């Protein structure tokens, strides 16, 4: 199986990746608490449209190794850097979903854009999830603390219910998302390292990327659903679009957080259009 070892990490980390197609490289960075498998409806389309598509498992998730410590965003971005370096990628397009948007922005902060042509933030947490006095539309701290408590006390029980809100299941079940998809997500999420699940949650909950948006100096696609109940659009995409200079901002009407599944065709059309532009 293909692994890339990040030897520059505090503890060497083995990152599992899949690499399909040829052409300009597109790197897909998945959301929390899933794995590269969440990109199933995008990988085939990206490859068929003439791009090289690389997806990987974040440390602690999927088939990648799970260190005990070091789940902050600079550590996570160093794994992305290791992939770009070891595969000798240039003119790459980095695409982050939800938590993965943090790796996109932190990579550009820590390593610059010399090897990056474009970026995309899909249902992204950028720039800030947590509610603060200067971010009133964010998620209340007590609700974030409740997630951590639930993960510590009954991780699999929490994860079993999490996908319902991820997809706005009651509104979208049947036509846009199946019960089998929720079961599949639960299998992926429950398989992840319990430690990594909590530590990466703390990272996306509390990292404030607002001061880093100036470092996003490549053309950037921002896509968000206006029915996202997991990462409200007001605290994420709306702010990102106001602060990132060269951006294309697309709102998918009625789409939940997991629009990569529920609105896969709409997202794919927008994404491929941006990749080809």
Largest CA distance in the chain: 47
Exposed/middle/buried for 93, CB within 10 Å: 0-12, 13-18, 19+?
buried
Among residues 38, 55, 65, 98, which one is catalytic? 98
**Pairing mode, strands 3-6 and 220-225:** unpaired
Q: Is 74 a catalytic residue?
A: no
H or E segment and range at residue 94: strand 92-97
Please state, as a whole number, how many other Cβ atoms lie within 10 Å of the Cβ of residue 1.
Answer: 7
Q: Is 224 a catalytic residue?
A: no
Exposed/middle/buried for 44, CB within 10 Å: 0-12, 13-18, 19+?
middle
User: Please, how many CA atoms are within 13 Å of residue 176, restricted to the half-sphere of its CB?
Assistant: 21
Crossing angle of the two packed helices 141-166 and 194-206, in degrees rounded to 10: 120
Among residues 30, 78, 224, 257, which one is catalytic? 257
Among residues 57, 79, 185, 228, which one is catalytic? 228
Helix (H, G, I), strand (E, B) or coil at 215: helix
What's the CA gap between 44 and 202, in Å, rounded?
Answer: 32
H or E segment and range at residue 53: strand 52-56
Q: Is 206 a catalytic residue?
A: no
Catalytic residues: 98, 228, 257
């Amino acid at each position: 199986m293909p692994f890339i070892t990040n030897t520059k990490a505090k503890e060497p980390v083995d990152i599992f990746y899949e690499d399909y197609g040829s052409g300009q490289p597109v790197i897909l960075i998945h959301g929390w608490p899933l794995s590269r498998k969440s990109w199933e409806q995008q990988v085939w389309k990206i490859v068929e449209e003439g791009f090289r598509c690389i997806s990987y498992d974040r440390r602690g998730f999927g088939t990648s190794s799970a260190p005990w410590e070091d789940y902050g965003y600079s550590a996570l971005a160093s794994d992305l850097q290791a992939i770009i370096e070891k595969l000798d990628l240039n003119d790459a397009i980095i695409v982050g979903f939800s938590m993965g948007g943090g790796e996109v922005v932190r990579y550009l902060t820590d390593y610059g854009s010399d090897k990056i042509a474009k970026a995309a933030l899909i249902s992204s947490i950028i720039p800030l999830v947590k509610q603060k006095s200067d971010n009133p539309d964010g998620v209340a701290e007590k609700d974030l603390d409740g997630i951590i408590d639930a993960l510590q006390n009954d991780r699999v029980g929490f994860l079993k219910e999490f996908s319902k809100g991820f997809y706005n299941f009651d509104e979208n079940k049947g036509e846009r998302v199946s019960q089998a998809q929720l079961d599949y997500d639960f299998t992926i999420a429950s398989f992840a390292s319990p430690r990594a699940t909590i530590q990466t949650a703390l990272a996306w909950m509390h990292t404030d990327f607002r001061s880093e948006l100036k470092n996003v100096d490549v053309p950037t696609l921002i896509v968000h659903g206006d029915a996202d109940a997991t990462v409200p659009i007001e605290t994420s995409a709306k702010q990102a679009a106001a602060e990132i200079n060269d951006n294309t901002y697309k709102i998918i009407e009625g789409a939940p957080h997991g629009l990569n599944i529920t609105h896969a065709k709409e997202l794919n059309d927008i994404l491929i259009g941006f990749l080809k532009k």
